[in-house]
Homo-oligomer: A and B are copies of this chain.
Amino acid sequence: MFYAGIDLGGTNIAAGIVDEEGKIVKKGSVPTGRTRKPEEIIKDMCLLVQSLMKDVGITEKDLHSIGIGSPGTPDRENGIIIYNNNLGFKNVHVREEVQKYINVPVYLENDANCAAIAESVAGSAKGDEFAVVITIGTGIGGGIIINNKLYIGFNGAGGELGHMVLKLNGEPCTCGRNGCWEAYSAATALIRQTKQAAQENPSSKIVELVGGDLEKIDAKTAFDAARLGDETGIKVVDTYIDILADGLANMVNIFQPGVIAIGGGVSKEGENLLAPLREKMKGRTYCAEGVEKTRLVIAKMGNDAGIVGAALISKA
């Protein structure tokens, strides 16, 4: 059997046909066109999957299910996206709409949870009974694997790890609270921190790297400046990693998972990120000597995590 996975983002709809092992057989993407009606967006999702099925040479009979990952908490039972700010979806009956085109079971899940499923089934957390997957993007996405299963709490809304307050009365967060982990460690936050440092240090290499246009600063800029030995860049990166380490140490103290996997754009820094994180997390985790320690790794599935995780929702 094959599984279709759809990563429904604000910019693109990415989809793939995935095999039993979580390997993508064929994938593709189309623009979301987010200002359109939900029915039109869902139609494009289905046309994309149908075209991929045709490429692979399979029919509905070979398709186990379609899984769709998107931000927010879906109504899994009824196949409804309750609310998606990015797409302007409000109580959209996604399952019903999809089945007009492709009549197979349709599963919905939060996108950060899909990333965790992908890492658990086919990626960096494969073989770990307990795992936490942190996706650093516009926000901090969290996915929790317990007993090899996705943990979603009693009401399906669990695992909002980015909305753990880390600094009382700290930076405002999009959720309405202040001081959430997300407000410090999301890519968006790193960009904000980098811009501020550049404004305060106009001679910094950060400014040079973006040709003087601070609007061009992205989540990589501070790391690039640091690599050039720029003091401001080094300081921005060090402070960013320091707080990220505090959030991760909290995850260890709470969950003691076998592995914590970090995904999303910032995770492309690889060992540049992991080595100082590991160093800083020492002494911040609460664990007796001699007790086995949580591994900290980069998520393996990269940009495919959303597709693979969505495809395998039914396995989680």
A157 within 8 A of B: yes
The answer on a CB contact under 8 Å between A72 and B288 is yes
- With A153-B255, A254-B254 already in contact, the answer to whether A82 and B288 are too (CB < 8 A) is yes
A258 within 8 A of B: yes
Complex Cα–Cα for A242 and B176 (A): 16
Residues in B with CB closer than 8 Å to A157 are 256, 286-288, 291
Residues in B with CB closer than 8 Å to A160 are 253-254, 286
- With A167-B168, A177-B284 already in contact, the answer to whether A290 and B82 are too (CB < 8 A) is yes
- With A128-B154, A287-B157 already in contact, the answer to whether A166 and B163 are too (CB < 8 A) is no
A316 within 8 A of B: no
The answer on a CB contact under 8 Å between A293 and B254 is no
Q: Give residues of chain A (283-299) contacting chain B, Cβ–Cβ below 8 Å.
A: 283-284, 286-294
Instruction: Known pairs A73-B288, A158-B255, A168-B170; list 7 more (Cβ under 8 Å).
Output: A130-B158, A146-B151, A153-B255, A157-B286, A160-B254, A165-B284, A176-B284
A-B contact list, 7 entries, CB within 8 Å: A72-B288, A73-B288, A130-B154, A147-B147, A153-B255, A166-B168, A176-B284
Chain A residues packing against B (C-beta within 8 Å): 72-73, 82-83, 128-130, 142, 146-147, 151-161, 163-168, 170, 175-177, 243, 246, 249-250, 253-258, 283-284, 286-294
